[in-house]
Amino acid sequence: MSTLSDLVYAQGRSRSEEVEWLHRLAGDGQLLADLAFADIVIWVPTADDSFVAVAHTRPSGAATLFYRDIVSDRVRPQWATQVRDAFVSGRIVDSASPDWFEETPTRVRAVPIVRRSGETVETVGVLTRHTNLGETRTPSRQQITFNDCADDMFGMIASGEFPDLSTPTAPRRGAPRASDGLIRIDPAGVVTFASPNALSAFNRMGFDDELEGESLVEVTTRILTTRREFDESLPLVVTGRAPWRADIEAQGVTVSLRTIPLRDRGTRIGAIVLCRDVTELRHQEQELITKDATIREIHHRVKNNLQTVASLLRIQARRSHSDEAREALTQAMRRVSAIAVVHDTLSEGLTQSVDFDDVFARVLKLVAEVAAAAPSTRARTRSIGRFGTLPSAYATPLALALTELVTNAVEHGLAGQEGDVEILADRTDERLEVRVRDNGVGLPEGLVGRGLGTQIVRTLIQGELGGTIDWHTLVGSGTEVTIEIPLRYIERIQG
Domain range holding 253? Answer: 178-277
Distance separating alpha carbons of residues 229 and 279, to the nearest angstrom: 18
Q: 386 and 493 share a domain?
A: yes
Q: 380 and 492 share a domain?
A: yes
The full length of the chain comes to: 495
Query: Is residue 193's pLDDT more than 80?
Result: yes
Classified as helix, coil or strand, 341 is helix
The DSSP-derived string for 151-176 is HHHHHHHHHT--S-TTS-----TT--
Per-residue pLDDT at 495: 46
The DSSP-derived string for 104-152 is EEEEEEEEEEEEEETTEEEEEEEEEEEEE-TT--PPPHHHHHHHHHHHH
| 183 vs 266 pLDDT, higher one | 183
Query: Is residue 210's pLDDT more than 90?
Result: yes
Query: Is residue 492's pLDDT more than 60?
Result: no
Section 140-163 average pLDDT: 95
In a domain, 199, yes or no: yes
pLDDT for 94-138, tens place per residue?
Answer: 998 888 887 788 999 999 999 988 888 999 999 999 998 877 678
CA dihedral 36, 165, 158, 59 (to 10 degrees): -20
pLDDT band at 493 (very low <50, low <70, confident <90, very high): very low
pLDDT band at 440 (very low <50, low <70, confident <90, very high): confident
- Find which of 206-215, 390-399, 458-467 is predicted with most confidence, using mean pLDDT: 206-215
Please tell me whether the peptide bond between 163 and the residue prior to it is cis, using omega within 30 degrees of 0.
yes
Section 461-465 average pLDDT: 86
Per-residue pLDDT at 376: 62
Q: 266 and 226 share a domain?
A: yes
Distance separating alpha carbons of residues 317 and 321, to the nearest angstrom: 9
Beta strands 378-384 and 418-427, pairing class? parallel
For residues 9-48, one letter each, b for 16 or more C-beta atoms within 10 angstroms of the residue's C-beta and e for the rest, the string is bbbeebeeebbebbbebbbbbbbbbbbbbbbbbbbbbbee
Beta strands 378-384 and 39-45, pairing class? unpaired
Section 355-377 average pLDDT: 72
Q: 8 and 155 share a domain?
A: yes
Q: What angle do CA 93, 98, 101 make, to 5 degrees?
A: 105
Average pLDDT, the chain: 84
Section 259-287 average pLDDT: 88
Section 13-24 average pLDDT: 87
CATH at residue 185: 3.30.450.20
Per-residue pLDDT at 475: 66
Which DSSP helix (H) or strand (E) runs through 254? strand 253-264
- Where does a domain end: 277, 311, 328? 277
Per-residue pLDDT at 381: 82
Section 62-82 average pLDDT: 91
- Where does a domain end: 130, 159, 188? 159
- Where does a domain end: 159, 191, 210? 159
In a domain, 164, yes or no: no
In a domain, 369, yes or no: yes
- Is residue 121 a contact partner of residue 160, using CB atoms and an 8 Å limit? yes
Per-residue pLDDT at 136: 67
Query: Is residue 473's pLDDT more than 90?
Result: no
Give 267's strand partners. Answer: 264
In a domain, 65, yes or no: yes
pLDDT band at 449 (very low <50, low <70, confident <90, very high): low
pLDDT band at 335 (very low <50, low <70, confident <90, very high): confident
Distance separating alpha carbons of residues 240 and 246, to the nearest angstrom: 12
pLDDT band at 173 (very low <50, low <70, confident <90, very high): very low
Per-residue pLDDT at 272: 97
Per-residue pLDDT at 369: 66
Query: Is residue 91's pLDDT more than 80?
Result: yes
- Name the percent of the chain lying above pLDDT 70: 89
Per-residue pLDDT at 80: 95
- Name the percent of the chain lying above pLDDT 90: 38
In a domain, 172, yes or no: no
Domain count, the chain: 4
